[in-house]
Chain A
């Protein structure tokens, strides 16, 4: 197997290769879009990718932590919706100050993550089932708060939603983009330059070995779910900024998009291998597909789902190929 030039002077590691392929495909798709559709290749389209998918980026980053430990978190979309709902309710119905609401909502997200992580680690319930219960609970609580959509009229929110940070002549950023990028940088730093991050990789490689090495397995695993809860919560708030409303029906299926982005980004679902930068590229790739379909105009929305499915298929087969070439070496 010399398909990847592994025998050449520059050796490409498997994990790097997957991220590079994602990056290459993203560039290729964007180039193709720019050639086919006029107006596609502008800076604003790139920025819009971040604006439209900022919440997904943040959620998928949290998901990356959990998947790196070898788990999975199905509750992310529901926790995000619950966070937005709780925020809207406290602001609009109870008229709490923003400074109190935002930290509280983030704490609720962390609390959800802690609860699920605790049950998964200490009671040995499979992550799939535990986070499924968390998903049902969070989604149900949204409807306990309110069956209907809540519009947010809080001046802080509406101002933030309209704030544009000029970047060059015709390109504008929103604050949410900066938050997304900050989360990305923070996650990268945490995973690669802290003990917690190294322990996350170690547990995903082999929880047994990590335990024998004296790593704090319980703390790290629960911590990963708490990070995911925090990211989901923050993602929900970003989505609330984006739509200036909250509803129990928001972000249904986000967990699938997040998992897809993580897998396309080159992270192994078995854990222990992958990069948060890859996840960001995966989110951008999903966003590019949607943007292309929007520019195309005649293709219906369900083609997005089929395209994501095909992409998943390609990347999973690719990972399989790369994986087997590694074991054969």
Chain B
């Protein structure tokens, strides 16, 4: 029992399962997945599809947070990337041309990478606190997105572009496949090479890791660039799904959701050890929560209250100080106070 409950993915997974089961109770057909027109349909698929952009953004955020940083600008990058792609496509004579769409997508991703690179430079080279360095782009970025779209919503009618966020491939939503590929590649890169360990070393102590010979500045810039690209892809998905670039609302508050997903997944904001699987679970928890609220008919704006409650519960459970203070007091009459945090875990979960 201890091996299961002590696992770092236990709590996010447990929360997700509980929420899915709660849905099953409310909506009996919640778990059913059907094949229609060669596509998979069902609430679970919907959660995966709608959660795709958040999973990507949170993935990039995890890498940045692992280095001890934070990227507040991802929401703005989401808006800029979608705005640029739609602006380029809407300017083409044949919006359905695959080559034109590819060029637009490539340029949007390059711009996203440049924006991430810019953040990285400020953090690693100029030495500004990450939260402030990325605040600049967070504030200015949405203005830039509106500059690209001239303050209007740009509608596009392009089947190839629609594929990215709303299309299907091999019976699965294309966006879900993209996320799976990016997660798998990132997982390989950080766990099958030394990259992940180096990132954790930087997050643990940037100065010490530089002294032992890790090129921490270069890796930090790389992390922010990767985060920018992830946000860029997410921006393409969101704008493609609704065939519209909305510079004002696309990716609004996404940085907060992404940071939440990372924290719910069990990666500490202080940097160091990180878990990609946890982040994916965290993103799914947030998306499931939103979907649940929609299906139960509560006004969507009220979702925020539930989100606050979930955040509070998950963060408090994961806080060693909270566990020590609340649970130790209660357990004292039965057993002597636990000497180590590990012992406290056993009592909590018993």
A-to-B contact residues, CB < 8 Å: 72, 74, 119, 122-126, 128-130, 132-137, 139-144, 147, 248, 256, 259-260, 263, 269-270, 300-306, 308-310, 312-313, 316-317, 320
CB of A149 to closest CB in B, whole Å: 13
Query: Which residues in B have their C-beta under 8 angstroms from that of A74?
Result: 256
- Contact count band on B: 35 or more
Given known A133-B312, A312-B136, contact A300–B321 (CB-CB < 8 A): no
Q: Does B331 contact A (CB under 8 A)?
A: no
Query: Which residues in A have their C-beta under 8 angstroms from that of B151?
Result: 300-302
* Closest partner residue, chain B, to A137 (CB atom): B308
**Which of A130, A140, A259 has a CB less than 8 Å from the CB of B304?**
A140
What 1/0 mask marks residues of chain B from 279 to 322 whose CB sits below 8 Å from any chain A CB?
Answer: 00000000000000000000101111111110110011001111
CA distance A313 to B143 in the complex (A): 15
**Which of A136, A142, A260 has a CB less than 8 Å from the CB of B307?**
A136
Looking at chain B's contact residues, the main secondary structure is: helix
Query: CB distance A122 to B133 under 8 Å?
Result: no
Query: CB distance B137 to A302 under 8 Å?
Result: no
Query: CB distance A132 to B303 under 8 Å?
Result: no
B-to-A contact residues, CB < 8 Å: 70, 126-129, 131-133, 135-144, 146-147, 150-151, 247, 256, 259-260, 263, 269-270, 299, 301-309, 311-312, 315-316, 319-322, 325
How many A-B pairs have beta carbons closer than 8 Å: the answer is 130
CB of A324 to closest CB in B, whole Å: 8
7 contacts between A and B (CB under 8 A): A124-B322, A134-B308, A136-B305, A137-B304, A140-B304, A260-B135, A302-B146
Given known A122-B325, A129-B311, A147-B301, contact A269–B143 (CB-CB < 8 A): no
**Which of B127, B143, B144, B256 has a CB less than 8 Å from the CB of A320?**
B127
CB of B73 to closest CB in A, whole Å: 10
CA distance A139 to B132 in the complex (A): 24
CA distance A202 to B151 in the complex (A): 46
Query: CB distance A136 to B319 under 8 Å?
Result: no
Given known A132-B311, A313-B136, A316-B133, contact A302–B321 (CB-CB < 8 A): no
CB of B143 to closest CB in A, whole Å: 3
* Closest partner residue, chain A, to B133 (CB atom): A316
**Which of A123, A134, A135, A312 has a CB less than 8 Å from the CB of B139?**
A312
Given known A316-B133, A317-B126, contact A132–B139 (CB-CB < 8 A): no
CA distance A16 to B40 in the complex (A): 63
- Return the 3 tightest CB-CB contacts between A and B, nearest first: A309-B140, A140-B304, A305-B143
CB of B188 to closest CB in A, whole Å: 30
Most chain A C-beta atoms within 10 Å of own C-beta, residue among B128, B136, B147: B136
Given known A134-B308, A320-B126, contact A123–B259 (CB-CB < 8 A): no
Given known A125-B316, A137-B308, contact A302–B142 (CB-CB < 8 A): yes
Query: Which residues in B have their C-beta under 8 angstroms from that of A144?
Result: 302, 305
CB of A126 to closest CB in B, whole Å: 5
Given known A128-B259, A136-B308, A312-B139, contact A306–B301 (CB-CB < 8 A): no
